[in-house]
Amino acid sequence: MYAVVQVRGVVNTRRDIKDTLKMLRLHHINHCVFLPDTPEILGMIRKVKDYVAYGEVDEATLETLMRTRGRLEGNDALTDEYLKENSELNGIADLAKAMIEGTVRIRDVPGLKPVLRLHPPRKGYKSLKRTYPQGGALGYYGQEINALLYKMR
C-alpha cells in the first residue's frame, strides 16, 4: 500500500497532471491518500511524481495517522468505538492491519473520509525542486515515507 502526499501546488501545470491529481483525490498541499499497489495506480503516481512524495507505508505509521488525522463526516475524529459500532473491525489497530493486508479499503468504513489533512512537516521540507535521492522532498521515498508522515502527524 502506497501513501501519497501532495507536496507542491498546481499553479501553471499541465492539464493532464491536474486531472491525475484530482483522480487521486489530492486537491491541496499536505493532503495524504492511501492507495493500493496496482499497475494503474502506480502509473498515475509516476505521472505526478514531480508534485508528490510517495512510498510504502507500514502498519504503525498508518495506525498513528488514523488516530491523529482520521476524520469522519462532520469533521469528527475517528475512534475505536465508532469502528466497533459501524463495521466488523475492533478498532483503529485492526483497521490499519487490514488496510496493509489489502482486505479492507477506506471506503469500506462508512463515513470515513478518504483524504487525511496533514500538518506541514516539522523542520520543513528539504527542497521542493529536487527529488528525494537528490536531497529534496519529491518522488519515491520507499520505506522512508514513514519518517516524513511521522513529522506531518
Q: How do the domains of the chain map onto residue ranges?
A: 1-153
Give the three-class secondary structure for 5: strand
pLDDT of residue 9: 94
What is the H or E stretch that residue 70 is in?
A: none
Cell of 84: 466497533
What is the phi/psi pair of residue 33, to 5°? -130, 155
Comparing CA positions, the residue from 94, 115, 107 lying closest to residue 30 is 115
Please, what sign has the CA dihedral across residues 48, 50, 54, 55? positive
With contact defined as beta carbons under 8 Å apart, do 77 and 116 qualify?
no
pLDDT of residue 31: 97
**CA pair distance 145, 133, nearest whole angstrom:** 13
What is the phi/psi pair of residue 104, to 5°? -130, 140
Task: Quick: pLDDT tens for 21-31.
Answer: 999 999 999 99
Task: Quick: pLDDT tens for 68-106.
Answer: 999 999 999 999 999 999 999 999 999 999 999 999 999
Pick among 3.40.50.10790, 3.30.1390.20, 3.30.565.10, 3.40.50.1580: CATH of 1-153: 3.30.1390.20
pLDDT of residue 51: 96
Cell of 15: 492539464
Q: pTM for the full model?
A: 0.93
